[in-house]
């Protein structure tokens, strides 16, 4: 018998009557529960009388500070390596300013700290370093403690492996709350994962000793809803008991073998809980069996000193109250101000199981207006009685006059309110509150009119903002009273959705493409459902949006789906207020929706299958046979091939002329959170996991596990791979049928934009693909997959793509006229800005290719057309050779140039709202034209947007052959060697080539002066990898970083490079000692690569310190393509923060040239505010 779907569980809960108390507070113990509840938006769809309270289920959040102090001290010892789970690396503790406050900070000071994903990795680490003592700092609850026990029960462990155990039991924290007499909750959802080990019976004390309804629940939305249904029934029956709502995995007794193993190695002890204090019988300690591996016994002095520094939470931090469910995250005094994921003060903002981190990542910001227990996805900007000064003149708002029985109001909501299921949400919300009225799209906004009692209208208005659909970002633009002319609700006048009207103009907010939701996937997998196996199954909360929209208002008739009239069954769902497909524009079914076609052609064969089932089966068979298939998706085509088939990879590389550039890999969605296959091949930290599962569904660059099973040909010479999860129903069907990772690389010719049209695909890819899997839903706006890389605790964007772009930012003040910024040459994007809004386009590509230039022009027209904005001023780069600059100067519009690195710095400051405060911004990249006419790329700029001074840079060097030196880095390696006093041939090149190079270098023929750090990376890679020639951008830097990561000692030894001021007062770093060091063949290449990175970190600290000494500046930023390097950036952030600086990194924008167009707007905005218009 099939399990109920989440929607069915929700219907069952809604069908139950309200409890007699009128309110039910339910605590969910586990952080995994809270993550699912928040990210699936369960609070917003449950009845308003249910309040879900996050509880003490985050082991990282309660790990005592003294254990962190001890781990930090051990990591700095000469012969110790500390291994710990990823979250623990960033957990802060109280320490003086000059001492490391986390393991991450200790690592920056030379501490040996290795993040691991499993106990098995610790064993591998200990075996790789027999001369070091490897201390496993293990914090966790019972589900973590059991595999730790399994590891230390082995008889083949190396002698150097030790254990610092900081494990806790889960139930004592709940017992502590209950014994307090005022627990703050009325029912309990117990953690299913813990219960798989310890058994459901462990929680029987809650209903029997304290009379609270209790259910053990799993972690998917459906399983959590099943648990909520169980406790709600208990509350209604007034019969508290223990229900097992997770019988698939949980038994009454649990895993007795695991329990016995834990009992043999660990003993129950009293234990400290951070911020809470000691709880009796709540922790695990090592028994005498493990005495020889107990780190506390090996390092008594370290632990004595750590315990002497035992403390509570940092001042102002309320993590303990959040952990115990006494307050919600936004009620913490530091939430969103001093404490954010990139700069956490308390542990709850670090761990992916911490409530603060979960709420922040879901968009919950500090707000005083959000009702207790209800999560506001965006701040409530206008509560009843207030107006939004940005949208409405208070003098034009009619006063609210209460009628004796009924009154009527009109609301206008702006923001992201179209294409996100907002009108159906409003209809259901009004119907539940017995209000009469209507809702309609009007231009880019939503207009609502409702009639009812004043109290109900007030509650309705609050819920419009606080309970909006997950994808919506509503903002109240206007409120007014209107005549109460509607019949009262009991006269059967319904609340209805009216036809859209109005011209959107510039007020629109485009909806973004979103991945298929769990409910639609469940239907696609249900043999009894009419959507079974249908690769275009969607509802009002998922599916294509931006890629199919013609214009707003967002209705089916204004999308590419207008070619697919709804069948009677789909029409019934479209018109049913209780259906998820109520007024959902992207729906369809096998009878009326888009269809698949398989074409076998191009390289071989000639066969067409128009039956969708046969087409899908043929594509699956082709992929299984090792052939290359071009598959049309949401924003364009992917070239797909078996990622485990070396012959298929070699063929794809040969046909695509892509010998080295890494391929992205799509992996099957397996396991409870979909990440099981990812974890099998890659090391996954919380930031990466969060990014993989986000609505953007980007490609995330992940470090490979030592025992990964992927082919080396996916990412030659690198230690990481780009991974993405299936996001379209079609992807899920392919992945489930093949049950293996697939290459999913953009279907294009090198340097050109992604292909989205069938005819173009067959024409341009006919020599690459063996077959095509087409569908007939037109893609109106091609958009590539985004790319992110976890850096410094956050998955930083490297390429804007599907699901995240067009990206909208708010400007600090209004522009006097509409502006178009056309960006740079590489990683091209364009940016449209008007009034106080800015919109960044999706990734376009490299503008040297004709088709990319055509796509560039189309993208400009697309943004201007969709938003109804015509620019009057064009901002462009100073480089006259860029296509974007030539386009701007030929456009006939007024133009203004913005220096490349000024744009980089302004983009970072603009993203962080720093337009008036002085900031030191390091802009390190490949090259960009500086205001002095030389090639910059290693600059430290001091000031603010519109006012930059060059504080520091690198000593200039010649770039022999210009672009040729970038394509063939041996040339640069050779000339830098000569400039460093090394006379012999130091890199690749024939005698004739070296002679010609020497002559050109000495005469400075076609050898422009350059100060770019990116080019130093090229030279270092040419010397150490070696790499005479590159086949794609950043190949040299990527190989060098991978080489440094393989250094056995992990951290390099920095050189102290000399600095001198030039005649203009710019502090110049002399890089020549570093080049000479790279030639030291006595050191392994891995060591020299690590030293190279460490030295650049020291240069950053030296130049930052000089700026602070001269000006007092305390805030600095890192931007430019060089800071895509994870090793360099994380080392720099840790060292600079340890030195007392506040460090800014990009969060929503890429640090590379994709953000140049945004920076051009920010720089232009600052200049226009000074009335410098031409």
Can you read off the two tokens belonging to residue 679? Answer: 């974890």
Provide the sign of the torsion angle of the four alpha carbons 1116, 1117, 1122, 1125, taken in this order: positive
Please give the full DSSP string across 135-150, using - where no structure is assigned.
EEEEEE-HHHHHHHHH
Q: Is the pLDDT of residue 434 over 60?
A: yes
What's the rounded mean pLDDT across residues 847-873?
Answer: 93
User: Within this chain, do residues 741 and 765 fall inside the same structural domain, yes or no?
Assistant: yes
Q: Which of 28, 160, 441, 645 is catalytic?
A: 441
Kindly report the three-state secondary structure assignment for every residue of 829-862.
Answer: CCEEEECCEEEECCCCECCCCHHHHHHHHHHHHH
User: Within this chain, do residues 668 and 655 fall inside the same structural domain, yes or no?
Assistant: yes
Residue 1017 inside a domain? The answer is yes
User: Within this chain, do residues 502 and 427 fall inside the same structural domain, yes or no?
Assistant: yes
Nearest-CA neighbor of 5 among 521, 421, 428? Answer: 521
Please provide residue 736's backbone torsions phi and psi, each rounded to the nearest 5 degrees.
-70, -35
Active-site residue 423, yes or no? yes
Can you read off the two tokens belonging to residue 386? Answer: 């207030």
Query: What does the pLDDT look like over 33-70, one tens digit per residue?
Result: 998 998 888 998 899 899 999 998 888 888 998 899 99
Residue 234's alpha-carbon distances to 28, 33, 237, in angstroms, are 16, 20, 5
The predicted structure's pLDDT at residue 570: 95
Predicted confidence band at 1048 (pLDDT cuts at 50, 70, 90)? confident
Predicted confidence band at 495 (pLDDT cuts at 50, 70, 90)? confident
User: Within this chain, do residues 637 and 563 fall inside the same structural domain, yes or no?
Assistant: no
Query: What does the pLDDT look like over 593-627, one tens digit per residue?
Result: 999 999 997 555 578 999 999 999 999 999 999 99
Can you read off the two tokens belonging to residue 267? Answer: 């003993």
391, with CB counted inside 10 A (0-12, 13-18, 19+), is middle
User: Within this chain, do residues 570 and 616 fall inside the same structural domain, yes or no?
Assistant: no
What's the rounded mean pLDDT across residues 788-801?
Answer: 94
Q: Which of 107, 168, 274, 423 is catalytic?
A: 423
Counting DSSP H helices and E strands in the chain, the numbers are: 40, 42
Determine how β-strand 445-452 pairs with β-strand 637-642: unpaired
H/E stretch holding 614:
helix 612-624
Between CA 22 and CA 632 the distance in angstroms is: 51
Residue 133 inside a domain? The answer is no
491 contacts: CB under 8 Å, gap ≥ 6? none
- How many Å is the maximal CA-CA distance in the chain? 98
Between CA 984 and CA 1076 the distance in angstroms is: 12
Residue 901's alpha-carbon distances to 466, 1121, 1129, 1166, in angstroms, are 41, 11, 18, 15
Residue 1157 CB coordination number (10 Å): 31
- Which of the two residues, 92 and 929, has the higher pLDDT score? 929
User: Within this chain, do residues 827 and 814 fall inside the same structural domain, yes or no?
Assistant: yes
Percent of the chain with pLDDT over 90: 60
User: Phi-psi bin for 13: left (phi > 0), alpha (psi -120 to 50), beta?
Assistant: alpha
Nearest-CA neighbor of 830 among 803, 867, 788, 794? Answer: 867
User: Within this chain, do residues 609 and 568 fall inside the same structural domain, yes or no?
Assistant: no
Residue 820 inside a domain? The answer is yes
Identify whether the C-beta of residue 1120 lies closer than 8 Å to the C-beta of residue 925.
yes
Provide the sign of the torsion angle of the four alpha carbons 576, 580, 584, 588, taken in this order: negative
User: Within this chain, do residues 514 and 492 fall inside the same structural domain, yes or no?
Assistant: yes
Query: What does the pLDDT look like over 270-288, one tens digit per residue?
Result: 998 887 888 899 999 999 8
C-alpha 1152: how far from chain center: 17
486 contacts: CB under 8 Å, gap ≥ 6? 408, 436, 437, 451, 493
The CA R_g of the chain, rounded to the nearest whole Å, is: 30
| Residue listed under structure tokens 């930090």 | 72
Between CA 815 and CA 827 the distance in angstroms is: 26
Residue 420's alpha-carbon distances to 284, 423, 514, in angstroms, are 48, 8, 10
Nearest-CA neighbor of 1084 among 1092, 977, 969? Answer: 1092
Choosing from 572, 594, 616, the residue where a domain stops is 594
3-state secondary structure of 84: strand
The predicted structure's pLDDT at residue 996: 85
The predicted structure's pLDDT at residue 612: 95
Choosing from 594, 620, 641, the residue where a domain stops is 594
Query: 1010 has which bridge partners?
Result: 935, 957
Nearest-CA neighbor of 1116 among 971, 816, 914? Answer: 914
Q: Provide the CATH number for the domain around residue 245.
A: 3.40.50.11750
Choosing from 564, 594, 624, the residue where a domain stops is 594
Residue 628 inside a domain? The answer is yes
Please provide residue 213's backbone torsions phi and psi, each rounded to the nearest 5 degrees.
-55, 140
| Residue listed under structure tokens 């080489």 | 1043
Between CA 768 and CA 648 the distance in angstroms is: 11
User: Within this chain, do residues 841 and 981 fall inside the same structural domain, yes or no?
Assistant: no
Between CA 323 and CA 277 the distance in angstroms is: 13
The predicted structure's pLDDT at residue 131: 86
131 contacts: CB under 8 Å, gap ≥ 6? 79, 160
Structural domains of the chain, count: 6
User: Within this chain, do residues 521 and 652 fall inside the same structural domain, yes or no?
Assistant: no
Predicted confidence band at 2 (pLDDT cuts at 50, 70, 90)? low
User: Within this chain, do residues 739 and 694 fall inside the same structural domain, yes or no?
Assistant: yes
Residue 90 inside a domain? The answer is no
Please give the full DSSP string across 1004-1061, using - where no structure is assigned.
TTT--EE--HHHHHHHHHHHHTT-S--SSTTHHHHHHHHHHHT-TTSS-------EEE
Nearest-CA neighbor of 948 among 834, 814, 839, 1066? Answer: 1066
Can you read off the two tokens belonging to residue 1081? Answer: 């063949």
Query: 924 has which bridge partners?
Result: 938
Between CA 875 and CA 862 the distance in angstroms is: 18
Please provide residue 731's backbone torsions phi and psi, each rounded to the nearest 5 degrees.
-60, -45
Residue 746 inside a domain? The answer is yes
Identify whether the C-beta of residue 752 lies closer than 8 Å to the C-beta of residue 636.
no
1082 contacts: CB under 8 Å, gap ≥ 6? none
2, with CB counted inside 10 A (0-12, 13-18, 19+), is exposed
Residue 874's alpha-carbon distances to 212, 896, 1157, 1165, in angstroms, are 65, 6, 10, 12
Query: What does the pLDDT look like over 733-773, one tens digit per residue?
Result: 999 999 999 999 999 887 789 999 999 999 999 999 999 99
User: Within this chain, do residues 567 and 436 fall inside the same structural domain, yes or no?
Assistant: yes
Query: What does the pLDDT look like over 953-1002, one tens digit per residue?
Result: 999 999 988 788 888 898 899 999 999 998 765 556 667 778 888 888 88
* 134-139-141 Cα angle (round to 5): 140
136-171: string of b/e by CB count within 10 Å (b at 16+)?
bbbbbbbbbbbbbbbbbeeeeeeebbbbbbbbbbbb
Predicted confidence band at 376 (pLDDT cuts at 50, 70, 90)? very low
Active-site residue 1125, yes or no? no
Residue 1133 inside a domain? The answer is yes
Q: Provide the CATH number for the domain around residue 889.
A: 3.30.420.360
3-state secondary structure of 113: strand
What's the rounded mean pLDDT across residues 840-849?
Answer: 93
1026 contacts: CB under 8 Å, gap ≥ 6? 970, 987, 988
Identify whether the C-beta of residue 594 lies closer than 8 Å to the C-beta of residue 588.
yes
H/E stretch holding 653:
helix 646-656
Between CA 309 and CA 295 the distance in angstroms is: 18
Between CA 875 and CA 831 the distance in angstroms is: 10
Identify whether the C-beta of residue 514 lies closer than 8 Å to the C-beta of residue 722.
no
Residue 263 inside a domain? The answer is no
Between CA 77 and CA 73 the distance in angstroms is: 7
What's the rounded mean pLDDT across residues 541-565?
Answer: 90
Predicted confidence band at 938 (pLDDT cuts at 50, 70, 90)? very high
Q: Provide the CATH number for the domain around residue 688.
A: 3.90.870.40
Determine how β-strand 771-775 pairs with β-strand 629-632: parallel
Please provide residue 554's backbone torsions phi and psi, each rounded to the nearest 5 degrees.
-80, 100
Query: 638 has which bridge partners?
Result: 631, 746
The predicted structure's pLDDT at residue 378: 28
Q: Is the peptide bond before 806 cis (omega within 30 degrees of 0)?
A: yes
| Residue listed under structure tokens 């089966």 | 617
The predicted structure's pLDDT at residue 403: 41
Predicted confidence band at 489 (pLDDT cuts at 50, 70, 90)? very low
Size of the chain in residues: 1174
Between CA 322 and CA 29 the distance in angstroms is: 12
| Residue listed under structure tokens 């997959």 | 785
Range of the domain at 508: 407-594
Between CA 930 and CA 1011 the distance in angstroms is: 10
């Amino acid at each position: 018998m099939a399990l109920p779907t989440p929607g069915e569980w929700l219907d069952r809960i809604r069908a139950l009557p309200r409890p007699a108390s009128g309110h039910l507070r339910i605590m969910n113990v586990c952080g995994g529960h809270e993550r699912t509840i928040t990210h699936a938006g369960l609070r917003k769809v449950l009845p308003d009388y249910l309040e879900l309270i996050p509880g003490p289920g985050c082991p990282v959040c309660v790990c005592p500070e003294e254990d962190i102090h001890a781990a930090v001290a051990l990591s700095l010892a000469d012969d110790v390596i500390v291994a710990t789970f990823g979250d623990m690396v960033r957990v802060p503790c109280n320490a003086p300013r000059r001492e490391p406050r986390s393991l991450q900070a200790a690592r920056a000071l030379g501490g040996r700290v290795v993040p691991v994903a499993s106990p098995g990795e610790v064993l591998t680490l200990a075996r790789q370093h027999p001369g070091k003592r490897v201390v496993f700092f293990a914090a966790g609850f019972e589900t973590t403690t059991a595999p730790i026990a399994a590891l230390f029960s082995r008889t083949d462990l190396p002698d150097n492996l030790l254990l610092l155990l900081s494990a806790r039991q889960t139930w004592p924290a709940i017992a502590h709350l209950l014994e307090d007499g005022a627990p703050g909750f009325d029912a309990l959802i117990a953690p299913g994962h813990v219960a798989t080990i310890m058994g459901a019976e462990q929680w029987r004390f809650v209903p029997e000793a304290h009379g609270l309804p209790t259910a053990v629940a799993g972690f998917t939305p459906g399983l959590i809803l099943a648990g909520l249904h169980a406790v709600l029934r208990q509350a209604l029956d007034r019969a508290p008991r223990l229900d097992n709502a997770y019988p698939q995995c949980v038994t009454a007794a649990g895993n007795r073998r695991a329990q016995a193993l834990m009992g043999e190695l660990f003993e129950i002890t009293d234990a400290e809980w951070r911020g809470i204090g000691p709880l009796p019988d709540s922790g695990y300690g090592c028994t005498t069996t493990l005495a020889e591996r107990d780190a506390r016994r090996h390092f008594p002095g370290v632990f004595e000193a750590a315990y002497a520094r035992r403390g509570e939470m940092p001042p102002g931090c309320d993590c303990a109250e959040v952990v115990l469910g006494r307050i919600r995250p936004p009620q913490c005094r530091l939430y969103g101000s001093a404490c954010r994921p990139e700069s956490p003060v308390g542990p709850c903002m670090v761990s992916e199981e911490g409530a603060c981190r979960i709420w922040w990542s879901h968009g919950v910001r500090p707000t005083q207006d959000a009702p207790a227990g209800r999560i506001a996805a965006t701040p409530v900007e206008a509560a009843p009685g207030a107006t939004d000064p940005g949208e409405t003149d208070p003098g034009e708002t009619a006063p609210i006059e209460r009628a004796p029985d009924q009154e009527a109001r009109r609301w206008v909501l702006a923001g992201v309110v179209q294409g996100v299921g907002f009108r159906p949400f409003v209809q259901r919300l009004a119907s539940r509150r017995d209000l009469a009225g209507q809702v309609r799209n009007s231009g880019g906004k939503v207009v609502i009119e409702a009639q009812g009692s004043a109290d109900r209208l007030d509650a309705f208005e609050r819920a419009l903002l606080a309970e909006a659909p997950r994808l919506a970002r509503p903002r109240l633009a206007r409120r007014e009273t209107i005549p109460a002319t509607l019949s009262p609700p009991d006269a059967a006048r319904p609340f209805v959705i009216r036809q859209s009207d109005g011209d959107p103009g510039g007020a629109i907010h485009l909806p973004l493409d979103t991945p298929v939701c769990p409910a639609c996937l469940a239907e696609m997998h249900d043999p009894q459902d009419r959507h079974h196996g249908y690769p275009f199954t969607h509802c009002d909360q998922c599916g294509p949006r931006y890629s199919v929209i013609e214009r707003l208002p967002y209705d089916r008739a204004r999308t590419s789906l207008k070619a697919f009239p709804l069948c009677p069954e789909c029409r019934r769902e479209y018109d049913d207020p209780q259906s998820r497909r109520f007024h959902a524009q992207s729906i369809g079914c096998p009878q009326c929706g888009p269809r698949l076609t398989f074409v076998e052609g191009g390289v071989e064969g000639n066969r067409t299958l128009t039956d969708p089932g046969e087409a899908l089966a043929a594509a699956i068979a082709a992929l299984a046979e090792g052939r290359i298939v071009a598959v049309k998706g949401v924003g364009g085509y992917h070239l797909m091939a078996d990622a485990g088939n070396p012959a298929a990879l070699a063929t794809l590389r040969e046909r695509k002329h892509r010998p080295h550039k890494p391929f992205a890999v799509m992996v099957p969605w397996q396991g409870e959170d979909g990440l099981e296959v990812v974890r099998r091949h890659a090391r996954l930290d919380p930031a990466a996991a969060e990014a993989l599962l986000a609505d953007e569904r980007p490609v995330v660059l992940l470090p490979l596990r030592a025992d990964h099973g992927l082919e080396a040909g996916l990412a030659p010479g690198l230690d990481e791979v780009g991974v993405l999860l299936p996001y379209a129903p079609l992807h899920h069907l392919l992945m489930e049928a093949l049950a293996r990772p697939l290459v999913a690389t953009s279907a294009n010719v090198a340097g050109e934009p992604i292909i989205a049209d069938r005819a173009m695909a067959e024409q341009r890819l006919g020599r690459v693909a063996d077959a095509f899997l087409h569908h007939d839903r037109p893609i109106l706006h091609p958009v590539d997959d985004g790319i992110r890389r976890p850096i410094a605790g956050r998955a930083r964007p490297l390429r804007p793509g599907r699901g995240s772009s067009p990206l909208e930012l708010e400007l600090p003040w209004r522009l006097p006229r509409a502006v178009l910024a056309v960006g740079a040459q590489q990683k091209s994007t364009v940016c449209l800005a008007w009034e106080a809004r800015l919109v960044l386009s999706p990734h376009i590509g490299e503008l040297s290719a004709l088709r990319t230039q055509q796509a560039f022009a189309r993208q400009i027209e697309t943004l201007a057309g969709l938003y109804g904005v015509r620019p009057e001023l064009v901002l462009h780069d100073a480089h006259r050779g860029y296509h974007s600059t030539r386009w701007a100067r030929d456009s006939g519009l007024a133009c203004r140039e913005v220096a490349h690195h000024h744009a980089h710095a302004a983009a970072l400051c603009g993203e962080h709202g720093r337009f008036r405060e002085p900031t030191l911004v390091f802009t390190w990249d490949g090259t960009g034209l500086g205001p002095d006419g030389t090639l910059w790329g290693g600059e430290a700029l001091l000031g603010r947007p519109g006012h930059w001074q060059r504080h520091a840079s690198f000593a200039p060097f010649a770039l022999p052959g210009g672009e040729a030196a970038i394509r063939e880095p041996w040339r640069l390696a050779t000339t830098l060697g000569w400039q460093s006093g090394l006379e012999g041939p130091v890199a690749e090149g024939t005698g004739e080539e070296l002679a010609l190079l020497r002559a050109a270098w000495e005469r400075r023929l076609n050898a422009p002066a350059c100060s770019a750090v990116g080019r130093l990376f090229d030279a270092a890679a040419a010397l150490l990898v070696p790499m005479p020639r590159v086949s794609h951008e950043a190949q040299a830097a990527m190989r060098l970083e991978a080489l440094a990561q393989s250094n056995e000692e992990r951290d390099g030894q920095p050189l102290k490079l000399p600095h001198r001021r030039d005649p203009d007062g710019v502090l110049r770093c002399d890089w020549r000692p570093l080049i000479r060091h790279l030639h030291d063949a006595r050191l392994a290449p891995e060591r020299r690569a690590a030293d190279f990175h460490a030295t650049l970190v020291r240069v950053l600290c030296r130049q930052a310190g000089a700026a602070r000494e001269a000006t007092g500046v305390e805030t600095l930023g890192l931007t430019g393509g060089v800071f895509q390097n994870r090793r360099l950036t994380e080392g720099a952030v840790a060292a600079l923060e340890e030195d007392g600086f506040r460090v800014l990194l990009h969060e929503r924008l890429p640090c590379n040239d994709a953000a140049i167009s945004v920076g051009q707007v920010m720089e232009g905005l600052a200049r226009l505010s000074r009335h410098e218009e031409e």
